[in-house]
A and B are shown apart, each in its own frame.
Chain A
Amino acid sequence: MEPTSEAELADLISSAKAPLCIRGGGTRLLGPIEGEVLETSGLQGISLYESGALTMVAGAGTTLDEIGAALKAENQRLAFEPPDLRDVLGTTGASTIGGVAASNASGSRRISVGACRDFMLGVRFVDGAGIVAKNGGRVMKNVTGYDLVKLMSGAFGTLGVLSEVSLKVMPKVEMQLCLRIEGLNAKQAVAAMSAALGSPFEVSGAAQALDGAVVLRLEGFDASVRYRADKLTQVLAGFGTVEMLDDQAQCDTLWRDIRDARGFTGSTGDLWRVSVKPSDAPELIDTLGAHAVLLDWGGGLMWVDMPKRADLRARMSVPGHATLMRSDDKGFEQVARFHPEAAPLAKISAELRARFDPKGILNPGLMGDVA
């Protein structure tokens, strides 16, 4: 199924009697989801772009490539830098803005500017009964009624199929610099990243790459970035030698690899994405028995390469949540993809799904496991 308008999408869903597998670019690896594929690629095109108001409205099936090209022409960007997981997940296709929104896909800048959901100004969607609704709008501040925009971003299509999203976009920065410290263990790395993020010097990325090096990103106007790099080098002096990288292409590649978890491309284990309080990460690493761990978000985001079928959650001794991002069909059958929720929350979530998807046809079984 490939509707080319919101009305057609609504018709399709309202007459559907069997499960639908909702697909944007299909760049994810969902494991087996039963159901006829519903493609959103026909809901496409940028309908409004006001660079002076930092606003863009686009059909959910619009590709990130098209959005990126339009933004580039005005020297703007998506500040939440959605990851491109094709390499690491071994998928092909072109990510869509609807898929990004539905998965609240946020990159390394999450810690400074916010997640995808923080840049979503409005949505239009078709719920599981085929009813069209909108929420939010295209202005920067909006508290008119409940914020269903947040509910829809990160619902992975289980509450409705997005037909249109409106986004806050941001100006590109003049330049970036990276600081790099080698030879730290996870505990020292998180301490160094915390010191950097707890400084006034506006760090926009803080990660411990797979080679063990801590990398920090500074962005903005040239003089300001250089000033902050100097200051930060002093703050971090106690952690080791601070190396500065100012080759722009090199910095881009470095952060692309972190954002897209490229270091795990071709690795054979199950790949998990884990969100924890940064200072809990080192202790967790000690208990997981992982092949390798990449830390982003100052330690708050862990990409973990685990032995196949090892249930990471069973070894999770700290609060947070883990999503199984890559496994084989059997792995996805055995382990829930999304972190099972505590009973009271699972009940609310289940009721929300039953209400927004009364026929139970939108990506059934994808979410909703109970702890």
Chain B
Amino acid sequence: MDMPRPDPIVLSRKSELVARLLTVLPQDAVIEDEMETRAYECDALTAYKCPPLLAVLPRSTAEVSDVLRICYDMNVPVVPRGSGTSLAGGALPTADCVILGVARMNDVLETDYTNRVIRVQSGRTNLSVSGAVAEEDFFYAPDPSSQLACAIAGNIAMNSGGAHCLKYGVTTNNLLGVTMVMMDGEIVEIGGAHLDSGGLDLLGIICGSEGQLGVVTEATLRILHKPEGARPVLVGFDSNEVAGACVSDIIQAGVLPVAIEFMDRRVTEVVENYAHAGYPLCEAVLIIEVEGSEAEIDAQLALIREIAERHNPIEFREAKDADEASRIWLGRKSAFGAMGQINDYMCLDGTIPVSSLPMVLRRIGELSKEYGLDVGNVFHAGDGNMHPLILFDANKDGDLELCEAMGAEILKLCVEAGGCLTGEHGVGIEKRDLMGYQYKPADLDAQMAVKDIFDPKWLLNPAKVFPLDVSDAKRSAQIAAE
């Protein structure tokens, strides 16, 4: 992966930068020791690593503002970081950057059950937001599988989703307001506990902007009362096509499951060996979860069973109690870990129209043979968000490159099927050079126009999202113009 050439002027001014940062931050918030900065050298896309010049761990919006003002003044690139669980290399440092970590900013600022909102500092983890309102049986709906670790800051930057987003929407649908610091240090308030914007929808553009428009320090989030209950079923099919058709029929019938998850034979096998969840070994397993009272759940599941039976499933297993429910979810929840046990993998995230599911799965199978790399599919089927996991061996010469080439083919396929490169993980560095598959130059120009306005020097999270040559040129031009 190409990264920009570090700015020699920035590198040469490291000690001056440290000295200035120490005028606004306590000693323990500035990390310059090379052993310690290594902790920030990568995110969950561990194939790419680069230690930053420095890392800072501010505790307040005011401190973030002070840090950014200094970096802006000295033309130092800044990479915002939540918990570092990005799968797209979104939080990968450059050698000349300051990592701005918000992990110490994890307070709950306000819980308001009357208006159904919570305001938190952005470093708070996703699961602990729900934790903070559990006493009143409320929760925060978007639930990335990484929710124990990932921060609201990263969720906002990536517009993250999760298994239950089929019903509740992704981050952008549950975000009401932010406090954000612009690259020049200016603090802005966007949105709040009220709904929608009175002017342009700036909140909408900030969510999903991958840390390139500003550093989010606080967020107002919508919270909901928990449903009375929830219950999953497991349905096994002997073909992907049929499973795909069943998904489509369920959605059209007007039942609104909270989740419809899909696992193919390869993943089911690996998961069974690892977690012994008792899954049937067949071509496709669907896990469908519905919510409500006992009676409502029964009624919805009866309808789902009726639809599924039209497709001759080889098994329809309803959870009879909490233990069976957790066993049904166990396999799905351990899928990534199980795959990681057998090999290194790259997790793709292309999204397709549900109707193209069978065709895309078939082509992925063919590509797997062509490239000689094993692929497992486990994904959010209800909204067509694929997660092909390509297995490779990081210690084998050329395997990573082969895997990347095959990944690019799969993503191209998703775009050709009417879909997109990424449904929830973001572009980061991983897909930045593939953006041309999905967007024409004018489409990308329109996006970059927004970047020009929020961050004219292109210092925030450089070398991500847009093709490298384009963003490099922007940054050097702006700084040279000064």
Binding site for B on A (CB under 8 A): 50-55, 75, 104, 106, 110-111, 114-115, 117-118, 127, 131-135, 137-151, 153-155, 158-159, 171-174, 191, 194, 197-200, 221, 223-224, 227, 231, 275-279, 297, 300-301, 319-323, 338-339, 341-342, 344-346, 348-349, 351-352, 355-356, 367-368
Contact = CB atoms under 8 A, between A and B. Distances in A.
B169 A118 contact: yes
26 contacts: A52-B355, A53-B384, A106-B196, A110-B196, A134-B439, A135-B446, A137-B418, A137-B420, A141-B383, A142-B423, A144-B420, A146-B450, A148-B205, A151-B204, A153-B204, A154-B196, A171-B253, A194-B114, A194-B116, A198-B113, A198-B225, A221-B299, A279-B115, A320-B192, A320-B198, A348-B188
Interface in B178-215: 182, 186, 188-190, 192-205, 207-209
B200 A155 contact: yes
User: Which 6 A-B pairs give the minimum distances between C-beta atoms?
Assistant: A150-B204, A321-B198, A171-B254, A339-B198, A141-B423, A140-B383
Interface string B371-405: 00000000010111100000000000000000000
B442 A104 contact: no
A345 B447 contact: no
Given A52-B251, A142-B420, A154 B446 contact: no
Contacts of B62: none
Contacts of A321: 194, 197-199
A132 B227 contact: no
A110 B222 CA distance: 13
Given A135-B446, A141-B161, A150-B205, A277 B192 contact: yes
B200 A279 contact: no
A140 to B, nearest CB: 4
B162 to A, nearest CB: 11
Given A55-B353, A145-B427, A200-B226, A104 B201 contact: yes
Choose among B116, B158, B385 the residue with the greatest number of A CB atoms under 10 Å from its CB: B116
Choose among B189, B382, B419 the residue with the greatest number of A CB atoms under 10 Å from its CB: B419
A13 B61 CA distance: 43
Interface of B: 112-117, 137-138, 158-159, 161, 165, 169-170, 172-173, 182, 186, 188-190, 192-205, 207-209, 225-228, 248-249, 251-254, 292-293, 295-296, 299-300, 351-355, 380, 382-385, 418-427, 431, 435, 438-440, 442-447, 449-454, 465-466
Given A172-B254, A355-B449, A53 B443 contact: no
Given A52-B252, A194-B114, A279-B115, A322 B208 contact: no
A143 B423 contact: yes
B193 A144 contact: no
Contact of B453 (A51, A143, A149, A351): A351
Contacts of A146: 205, 208-209, 447, 450-451, 465
Contact of A141 (B137, B194, B384): B384
